[in-house]
Structure 1
Amino acid sequence: MRLTIVSCISANWQKALPVLAAVGAVVWIALFRDDPLSERALFAALLVIYFFHQIEEHLWPGGFRQFADAHIFHSGNDNWPVDMGGTALVNIGYVWLPIGLAALFPETLRWLGLAWIGLTLINGIIHVAAGMALRIYNPGLVTGLVLFIPFTVFVLVHEVARGALSGAEVALIALLGVVLHVPAGGLFVISFLRRRRTKA
């Protein structure tokens, strides 16, 4: 039963994204229209923005998993090493959960939210860099360019302007953004290297 539920989530989680994005946007406006620049509002906005980004990556036009397997790993397999289960785990457990917790507890988990601001900034830069390096569209490129980078830069500039962050802390946030990509990428890289070693 548990495996069936997990398999169902792995295969279908992205279908909920349009509803999550629409409901998230409406709820955000209702809750934060009078205080849109509080850290709680900014962290909540980050989660809504991620829903739109994930729609581009995994639903419309989608294909991020297949793109990574074909153009990053050259594996010849549309579901390995970036597979459906790993993709669902990263997007739900590594994106929704920490950002959602930071939005719920912005004082206690402020640096969790700021670290994921850094992760989002670096993610947007990676999408743009991959597009330039490979000279082809990668799923997530448009929202990475028009949502991730402008939003995260705005948040960091805003926090510095109001005295809530120093320049050194902004540098730390960017560094955390790089470091936080390691576990997510490592999930797939380790699988890839293990199978290659077995075949060798």
Structure 2
Amino acid sequence: MHPLNLISADWQKALPVLIAIGIVVWLILFRNTPTTEQALFAAALIIYMIHQIEEHLWPGGFRQFANARLFKSGNDDWPVTEGGVALVNVGYVWLPILFAALFPGPLRWLGLAWIGGTLVNALTHIIGALRLRSYNPGLVTSIVLFLPFTIWALSREVSAGLLTGWQVVGLLIAGVLLHIPVAALFVLPYRRGEARA
């Protein structure tokens, strides 16, 4: 199997090990400075990986859910494809948050924007569940992890004088904007497919 195909099919299987390593590294590096922005960005990556377990490993099924319930495509792998899901979760989520955690000075706003994006992601899961009146993969971690972490992190930044209220609003707008390329990755092929049908 080609390495890219292997990554597309199996990236989520690495999550438990990556989370365990991430927690150990976080405790070593940040146990005395848990509220620095660097610590927050590193924690955001770990929390996101826990969320991805619910979406894509256990119970999993987010791709199939999106194709069946949101797009009603009748195809478990279209328009939300296995490769597209891997690209989004590894390339578009892990890498920016990881780089923000590694370089919190120059990439501060990227890390903060992803915290805003994480809050927006939580809200989309919750609103989706209310709208469809059903569970969606990622809902539990959105409520239990994403909401408390992001609200606490942003309010802590404000109380420490590191962010203003208007900057938080800007970060939430950035969080919405960060979701546009993700949606476009799946919506545009879907619309082109409809146009050909």
TM bucket by the smaller chain? over 0.9
Mind listing any 5+ residue stretches in structure 2 that lack a counterpart?
Answer: none
Take 1:75 and 1:89, find their aligned partners in 2: how far apart are those partners? 21
Give 2:164's aligned residue: 166
Partner of residue 64 from structure 1, selected from 52, 57, 62: 62
Structure 2 distance, partners of 1:61, 1:21, is 17
**Superposed displacement of residue 27, structure 1:** 1.1
Correspondences of 1:18-37 after superposition (within 5 Å): 18-37=16-35
Determine the structure 1 residue equivalent to 2:185: 187
Aligned pair count reads 197
> Shift in Å at residue 188 of structure 1?
0.2
What amino acid maps onto 1:9 in structure 2? I
DSSP 3-state at the match of 1:180: helix
- Percent identical among aligned pairs is 59
Scaled by the length of structure 2, what TM-score is found? Answer: 0.99
Write the deviation string for residues 36-77 of structure 1: whole angstroms up to 9, x where unpaired: 000000000000001100000000000000000000000000
The within-5 A match list for 1:127-146 is 127-146=125-144
TM-score by length of 1: 0.97
Aligned AA (1:117): I
RMSD (CA atoms): 0.8
What's the offset of the Cα at 1:178?
0.6
Distance (Å, rounded) in 1 between the aligned partners of 2:136 and 2:114: 22
1:83 to 74, 78, 81: 81
The Cα shift of 1:142 comes to 0.3
For 2:111, give the aligned amino acid.
G
What's 2:14 paired with?
A: 16
- Alpha-carbon distance in structure 2 between the residues aligned to 1:133 and 1:195: 25
Instruction: Measure how far apart 1:136 and its partner are.
Output: 0.7
**Distance (whole Å) between structure 1 residues aligned to residue 72 and residue 158 of structure 2:** 42
CA positional deviation for 1:133: 0.8
Moved over 3 A (4+): none
CA distance in 1: counterparts of 2:141 and 2:131, whole angstroms: 18
CA deviations on 1:11-37 (whole Å, 9 max, x unpaired) are: 000000011111111111111000000
Q: Distance in 1 between matches of 2:49 and 2:23?
A: 10
